[in-house]
Amino acid sequence: MAITQLPASGVTRKVEATQAERVARRRHRRESIAQTAVAAFIALFFFAPIAYWFLVSVKPLTYTMSWPPVLLSEPIFDWYEVVVLGLDPNVGAKTGIVFNGAAGDYYVIPYLLNSIVIGVLSTIVAVGLATPAAYALSRFHFQRRSSVIAWILSTRMMPPVVAMFPLFWLYTQADQRVFSSIFGRGTSVLYDSLLGVLLVHVVVNLPLSTLLLKSFFDDIPTDLDEAAMVDGCTRWQAFSKVIWHYALPGMAAAAILAFITSWNEFLLTLTVTRTQFRTVPVFGSTFDVSAAGTEWGALAAVSTTAMVPVFIFVLIVQRNLVRGLTMGAVKG
């Protein structure tokens, strides 16, 4: 009897335990579903405009410029042929879209290349100059250090309209009065040139990169510098041979932010360019969107083409984003 009872009671206890567990597990699953649903709803809500805008780029305008719109139809890629390949949809057997503009007007590739070249070069220069400066601000305890930091910070806080006209004037006057007499009439070294746009993009990114990198150098123990210098390195060698390797994550974070800032920069690029070296945002601003004949399909295709590279880039690097966005004030 005793022998048969023991396992039996054991089984009962086990069943009771699993029942309690099952209740708990069911509650957890319910919680998990509810919480996931809320997070998914928020994410999709914020993603929806981008998705809708993408749909506009793969539909004829008659489908999207009506209410209610027709969104469940076979996608067409004619708008991408216009903006990416520069084809004229009115020539040949294009049937999907009606296009009223001049085909070349929406050809985005040159502007995309401008954005990429300017973004990459200005990021390299900005981070390259900011890294030694940040090292110095972190390591040297000189008298005016806090005023230098405050000044750098104030340039980050400064609205770009403050520099808009002075830079425009500097660029046009330097070209007319100085560079024209050196390189011949009508040369533009600064205004409407790669150098001029690069300078603006570098300068806009310097304060953020410098202060962000300073926060990374502050986290690297000074013992490392001292050890290197005891071993016979000069200050410069301690930095260039040893310490900067430890700041690589910081340089990555600064580079990501610098590239995104450069990719989005608008007001100053608009002021210092006329036709050459305009970036995608400036290109996007040239269309009259209040007019009746706006080619929204082409603009949606331009937008998608401009957004996708940055999206891929951000999805790869998003772990570094928080610290960068706050110039090191919040550690992500």
- Residue 10 or 151 having the CB closest to another protein: 151
Report the length, in residues, of the chain: 332
Q: How many angstroms separate the Cα of 301 from the Cα of each of 2, 53, 133, 218, 298?
A: 80, 9, 41, 44, 5
Q: In angstroms, what is the minimal distance from the CB of 252 to another protein?
A: 16
CB neighbour list of residue 329: distance below 8 Å, 6 or more residues apart: 215
- Rule CB under 8 A: is residue 198 a binding residue for another protein? no
* Residue 228 contacts residue 243 (beta carbons within 8 Å): yes
Q: How many residues bind another protein (CB under 8 A)?
A: 103
**What is the contact mask toward another protein in residues 63 to 92, using x (rule: CB under 8 A)?**
-xxxx-x-----------------------
**What is the contact mask toward another protein in residues 221 to 250, using x (rule: CB under 8 A)?**
-------------xxx--------------
Question: CA-to-CA distance for 118 and 269, rounded, in angstroms?
Answer: 11
Q: Does residue 307 sit in helix, strand or coil?
A: helix
- Burial category of 247 from C-beta neighbours within 10 Å (exposed 0-12, middle 13-18, buried 19 and up): buried
- Residue 87 or 229 having the CB closest to another protein: 229
- Residue 53 or 179 having the CB closest to another protein: 53
* Residue 58 contacts residue 77 (beta carbons within 8 Å): yes
Q: Which residues within the stretch 13-52 sit at the binding site for another protein (CB under 8 A)?
A: 28, 31-32, 35-36, 38-40, 42-44, 46-47, 49-50, 52
Q: In angstroms, what is the minimal distance from the CB of 168 to another protein?
A: 8
Q: In angstroms, what is the minimal distance from the CB of 91 to another protein?
A: 26
- Burial category of 236 from C-beta neighbours within 10 Å (exposed 0-12, middle 13-18, buried 19 and up): exposed
- Residue 39 or 98 having the CB closest to another protein: 39
Question: CA-to-CA distance for 213 and 125, rounded, in angstroms?
Answer: 14
Query: In 276-320, which residue ranges form alpha helices assigned H by DSSP?
Result: 280-285, 296-317
Interface with another protein by CB under 8 A: which range of 92-100, 106-114, 139-147, 242-250? 139-147
**What is the contact mask toward another protein in residues 253 to 292, using x (rule: CB under 8 A)?**
-------x--xx-xx---x--------xxx-xx-x-xx--
Q: Which residues within the stretch 90-119 sit at the binding site for another protein (CB under 8 A)?
A: none
Interface with another protein by CB under 8 A: which range of 7-15, 75-83, 199-207, 247-255? 199-207
